[in-house]
């Protein structure tokens, strides 16, 4: 388990597990399968399994994803805030890199609520992430029937 060196506004420290929890990978696959075909989603998830942990701050992850900050009253964010308050470690986040030139945002494949809870504790929380580039193009889609 790694420890964030920055303390939150209430003196809370966000603790992190050394690796994502096993159930995070199927959750990532379910999310990614809404954006691409199942085979490509599975390949991206396998790449996430093999990726090393890197670190990025909460505010940068949110900005890169283009997602809004969820509030403390969101049930999943509240649950993660309770874990932080109790000193229980959170699971690292699974990310798929965006494309700056194409204007494609990074995808938080799993861990959006953890990112928001970390941000609400301290926007500069150092979050361990597994970050991979998207694998190959998605299936081609013809406009003709």
The pLDDT score that the predictor gives to residue 136 is 75
3-state SS assignment for residue 27: helix
Q: Has residue 42 got a pLDDT over 80?
A: yes
Element (H, E) at 85: helix 75-86
Is pLDDT larger for residue 110 or for residue 11?
Answer: 110
Contact 107, 143 (CB under 8 A): no
Query: HSE of 57 in the Cβ direction (CA atoms, 13 Å)?
Result: 12
Task: Report the alpha-carbon distance of residue 61 to residue 112 in Å, rounded.
Answer: 9
Element (H, E) at 94: strand 93-96
Q: Has residue 115 got a pLDDT over 70?
A: yes
The pLDDT score that the predictor gives to residue 138 is 53
pTM for the full predicted model: 0.87
The pLDDT score that the predictor gives to residue 8 is 41
Q: Per the structure block, which two tokens stand in for 100? A: 């700056």
Q: To the nearest whole number, what is the mean pLDDT of the chain?
A: 90
61-79 per-position pLDDT tens digit: 999 999 999 999 999 999 9
Domain ranges of the chain: 2-132
Q: Has residue 139 got a pLDDT over 80?
A: no
Q: What is the mean pLDDT of residues 28-40?
A: 97
The pLDDT score that the predictor gives to residue 7 is 40
């Amino acid at each position: 388990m790694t420890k964030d060196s920055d303390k939150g506004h209430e003196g809370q420290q966000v603790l992190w597990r050394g690796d994502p929890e096993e159930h995070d990978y199927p959750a990532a696959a379910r999310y990614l399968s809404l954006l691409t075909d199942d085979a490509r989603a599975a390949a991206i998830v396998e790449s996430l399994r093999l990726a090393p942990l890197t670190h990025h701050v909460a505010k940068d992850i949110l900005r890169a994803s283009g997602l809004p900050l969820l509030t403390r009253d969101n049930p999943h964010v509240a649950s993660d805030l309770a874990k932080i308050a109790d000193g229980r470690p959170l699971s690292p986040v699974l990310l798929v890199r965006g494309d700056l030139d194409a204007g494609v945002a990074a995808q938080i494949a799993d861990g959006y609520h953890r990112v928001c809870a970390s941000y609400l504790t301290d926007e500069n929380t150092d979050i361990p992430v597994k970050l991979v580039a998207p694998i190959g193009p998605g299936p081609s889609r013809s406009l003709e029937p």
